[in-house]
Amino acid sequence: MSAHEHHNHSVQPFEHPGLGRKRAKSTPKGRQIEPGALQEVEALLGDAPRRRDLLIEHLHLIQDRYHQISAAHLAALAEVMRLSFAEVFETATFYAHFDIVKEGEPDIPPLTVRVCDSLTCAMFHSEELLASLESTVGAGVRVVRAPCVGLCDHAPVAEVGHNFLHEATIETVQAAIEARDTHPHLDEYIDYRAYLAGGGYALLDSLRSGERSIESVLAVLDDSGLRGLGGAGFPTGRKWRAVRGEPGPRLMAVNGDEGEPGTFKDRLYLQTDPHRFLEGTLIGAHVVEADEVYIYIRDEYPVAREILEREIAKLPVGGPHIHLRRGAGAYICGEESSLLESLEGKRGLPRHKPPYPFQVGLFDQPTLINNVETLYWIRDIVEKGNGWWNSHGRNGRTGLRSYSVSGRVKQPGVKLAPAGVTIRELIEEFCGGMLDGHRFHAYLPGGASGGILPAAMDDIPLDFGTLEKHGCFIGSAAVVVLSDNDDIRGAALNLMRFFEDESCGQCTPCRVGTQKAVMLMQRPIWNQELLGELSQAMRDASICGLGQAASNPLTCVMRYFPEEFMTKEAAE
443 and 534 belong to one structural domain? no
Measured at the CA of 123, the angle between CA 118 and CA 125, to 5 degrees, comes to: 95
- Average confidence (pLDDT) over 449-470: 97
Sign of CA dihedral 471, 474, 476, 481: positive
Q: How does pLDDT run across 420-430, given as a tens digit for each residue?
A: 999 999 999 99
User: Is 75 a domain residue?
Assistant: yes
- Average confidence (pLDDT) over 168-196: 92
- Average confidence (pLDDT) over 453-482: 96
User: Is 39 a domain residue?
Assistant: yes
For the chain, how are helix, strand and coil distributed in percent, rounded to 5? 45, 15, 40
Q: How does pLDDT run across 220-254, given as a tens digit for each residue?
A: 999 999 999 998 889 999 999 999 999 999 999 99
Q: Which of 132, 156, 179 is at the close of a domain?
A: 179
- Average confidence (pLDDT) over 555-572: 76
pLDDT of residue 187: 75
User: Is 70 a domain residue?
Assistant: yes
What CA–CA distances, in Å, run from 413 to 366, 386, 484, 555?
A: 36, 27, 21, 28
User: What's the CATH number where 152 sits?
Assistant: 3.40.30.10
| pLDDT level of residue 565 (50, 70, 90 thresholds) | confident
Q: How far apart are CA 378 and CA 315, in angstroms?
A: 18
Torsion of CA 243, 350, 299, 366, to 10 degrees: 20
DSSP 153: G
267 and 207 belong to one structural domain? yes
Beta-strand relationship, 440-444 and 478-483: antiparallel
- Average confidence (pLDDT) over 129-157: 95
- Average confidence (pLDDT) over 314-324: 92
| Segments forming the whole domain that contains residue 242 | 192-382
pLDDT of residue 316: 82
- Average confidence (pLDDT) over 351-373: 97
45 and 173 belong to one structural domain? no
Query: What H or E segment, with its residue span, contains residue 8?
Result: helix 3-10
- Average confidence (pLDDT) over 150-162: 97
Q: Is the pLDDT of residue 20 over 60?
A: no
Q: Is the pLDDT of residue 535 over 90?
A: yes
Question: Are 145 and 113 contacting, i.e. CB atoms less than 8 angstroms apart?
Answer: no
- Average confidence (pLDDT) over 146-153: 97
234 and 276 belong to one structural domain? yes
User: Is 10 a domain residue?
Assistant: no
User: Is 260 a domain residue?
Assistant: yes
Q: How does pLDDT run across 249-275, given as a tens digit for each residue?
A: 999 999 999 999 999 999 999 999 999
443 and 474 belong to one structural domain? yes
pLDDT of residue 538: 97
219 and 253 belong to one structural domain? yes
User: What's the CATH number where 452 sits?
Assistant: 3.10.20.600
Q: How does pLDDT run across 102-138, given as a tens digit for each residue?
A: 888 999 999 999 999 999 999 999 999 999 999 999 8
Question: Are 59 and 77 contacting, i.e. CB atoms less than 8 angstroms apart?
Answer: yes
233 and 344 belong to one structural domain? yes
pLDDT of residue 11: 43
User: What's the CATH number where 495 sits?
Assistant: 1.20.1440.230
Q: Which of 65, 80, 101 is at the close of a domain?
A: 101
pLDDT of residue 317: 83
- Average confidence (pLDDT) over 153-170: 97
Burial group, residue 118, by CB count within 10 angstroms (0-12, 13-18, 19+) = buried
Q: Which of 131, 146, 179 is at the close of a domain?
A: 179
Instruction: Tell me what the pLDDT averaged over the chain comes to.
Output: 93
42 and 115 belong to one structural domain? no
556 and 534 belong to one structural domain? yes
207 and 323 belong to one structural domain? yes
User: Is 115 a domain residue?
Assistant: yes
384 contacts: CB under 8 Å, gap ≥ 6: none
Question: Are 74 and 100 contacting, i.e. CB atoms less than 8 angstroms apart?
Answer: yes
- Average confidence (pLDDT) over 349-373: 97
pLDDT of residue 8: 44
User: Is 531 a domain residue?
Assistant: yes
275 and 346 belong to one structural domain? yes
| pLDDT level of residue 25 (50, 70, 90 thresholds) | low
The structure's pTM equals 0.93
pLDDT of residue 165: 97
Got the DSSP string for 347-393?
--PPPPSSSPTTTS-GGGS-EEEEEHHHHHTHHHHHHH-HHHHHT--
Q: Is the pLDDT of residue 367 over 50?
A: yes
Q: Is the pLDDT of residue 15 over 80?
A: no
User: Is 302 a domain residue?
Assistant: yes
Q: How far apart are CA 346 and CA 141, in angstroms?
A: 30
Q: Is the pLDDT of residue 566 over 80?
A: no
Q: Is the pLDDT of residue 72 over 60?
A: yes
209 and 167 belong to one structural domain? no
pLDDT of residue 570: 42
pLDDT of residue 228: 94
What percent of the chain lies above the pLDDT cut of 70?
94
Q: Is the pLDDT of residue 21 over 80?
A: no
Among residues 507, 465, 495, the alpha carbon closest in space to that of 338 is found at: 507
The domain total for the chain is 5
- Average confidence (pLDDT) over 328-350: 97
For residues 382 and 565, the model is more confident at: 382
User: What's the CATH number where 248 sits?
Assistant: 3.40.50.11540
